[in-house]
Structures are given as C-alpha cells and as structure tokens.
Homo-oligomer: A and B are copies of this chain.
Amino acid sequence: DLIADLAAGFETGRLAGLRVLVTAGPTREAIDPVRYVSNRSSGRMGYAVAAAAREAGARVTLVSGPVALDGPPGIERVMVETAEEMRAAVRAQLPGCDIFIGAAAVADYRPAQAAAQKLKKRDANLSLDLVRNPDILAEVAQGEPRPFTVGFAAETGDLDANARTKRMQKSLDLIAANLVGPGLGFDAEDNALTLYWEGGSESLPRQSKPQLARELIAIVAQRFHDASSD
C-alpha cells in the first residue's frame, strides 16, 4: 500500500544524494618481501557497512585492505595493502565526501625498515623495530573541511571507557565499539556494537554483520541529519 511504499522509500533513501567513504579490512605492513605484520580483521563489518550505506541511497566508495571478499554491488572499491597506501587512497577520495566511516583495522605500527631481500634466519632471537603508522581516522576527523566522521574501536576490555576516550581524542562524531573475543568481532560472522556520540549512546545487540550494519547506518544517518540541521 501507499503508506508502506512511502515508508520504505523514506527508509531506503536516508542517505540519498550523499557521498559516503568507508575503509575496511586490515592493512599489511611488510617486514621483507614475504613476511608481514597484520591483524585478524576479515573486512566483513566494513563491507557490510558499505553495502548498508548503498542500500540507504548513498554513493559509496570502499577503500579496502587485503581481504577474501568480493566488492559489494554498486560500490566503487579501491584495494590497498599498507596503511600509507590506505591514507593516500582516502585523501584522494575525501573531496566531496559527506560521511567517512573508518572500519578498517589499520596497523598501528609498521616495521621501521622493510628489507628488500628475504631475511635469513640466523639468530635465536630477533628484535623488530616498529614505527607508528599514520592515524587515518584522526587525520580525517581533524582535517578541514571535514566529513561527519565515524570510527570503530575493537577492545579486549573496559569497552565503555576506552571507546569514549578514543572518540574524544580523535574528535569523532560517533564511535562504534565492540569487544573482541572468541566468536565475536574480528574474523567472526556475528558482532555486537555500542555506539557513542556527544551526549548519547546506544547498544546494538549481537546479530549478523549485515543486519548490524543496517542499524548502524540508520543511527549514523540520524546523527548526520541532526548535526547538519544544528
């Protein structure tokens, strides 16, 4: 019926006319031509968020680290490997972006020097010198002009305090925090999220990542429109 159609149109059109940039997956930081440092991100949450934003009517670009996932239909995907490459791809896509959602698990550190040849194993012990990677999310949130900026926090404990601190430190509009552990979060099918923004929070219970992403996008759209009308 007409009312339902109108409601559905409203639902799916919440981000119509907007450009959304999403990052997803891990980054890989080379130790030498074969070895690397990385993390357990499967990319599923970020890909689901990109798909949900598309469903909500946005024009979506997905900047993705190495994952075993196909690109969601209707989305422009840019594949990268390292944090430096992800930063460059994000900078190139930022102009005209309304909402940035940093779901990638960017490696915090990279080897200080990537060896050009495969390292030979000589010693019983080895010390690997690491240096900080750029904080892409904070750079976007503290840049000018800045999109509405959403980040993720994967924590193994003290979720509430760690997430609130991270949101403030990075100047994010909203942070989606989850506990990682057996069967939850990284490399898992299901996830649960607690969202924090200035003056509010909401817990989304454990569910499939596609469904969770739709609920997240609904709240992001609401916060975005509230912020725009201030």
Contact = CB atoms under 8 A, between A and B. Distances in A.
A35 B35 CA distance: 14
A118 B40 contact: no
A133 to B, nearest CB: 9
A26 to B, nearest CB: 9
A154 B120 CA distance: 11
B121 A132 contact: yes
Contact of A129 (B112, B125, B154): B125
B37 A118 contact: no
Interface in A118-145: 118, 121, 123-132
Contacts of A32: 156
B126 A34 contact: no
Nearest to A116: B156
B127 A132 contact: no
Given A36-B37, A39-B34, A180 B118 contact: yes
Interface of A: 31-41, 68, 105, 107-109, 112, 116-118, 121, 123-132, 154-157, 180-181, 186
Given A34-B39, A118-B155, A124-B131, 8 more contacts: A34-B180, A35-B39, A36-B39, A36-B40, A37-B37, A117-B156, A118-B156, A121-B132
A125 B118 contact: no
Which 7 pairs from chain A and chain B are nearest by CB? A68-B68, A108-B121, A128-B128, A126-B130, A118-B156, A34-B39, A35-B39
A94 to B, nearest CB: 23
Contacts of A105: 34
Most buried by B among A68, A118, A123: A118
Most buried by B among A35, A68, A131, A180: A35
A134 to B, nearest CB: 12
29 contacts: A32-B156, A33-B156, A33-B181, A34-B40, A34-B41, A34-B105, A34-B154, A34-B180, A34-B186, A35-B37, A35-B38, A35-B39, A35-B107, A36-B37, A36-B38, A36-B39, A38-B38, A109-B121, A112-B125, A118-B156, A118-B180, A123-B132, A124-B131, A124-B132, A125-B130, A126-B129, A126-B131, A127-B128, A128-B130
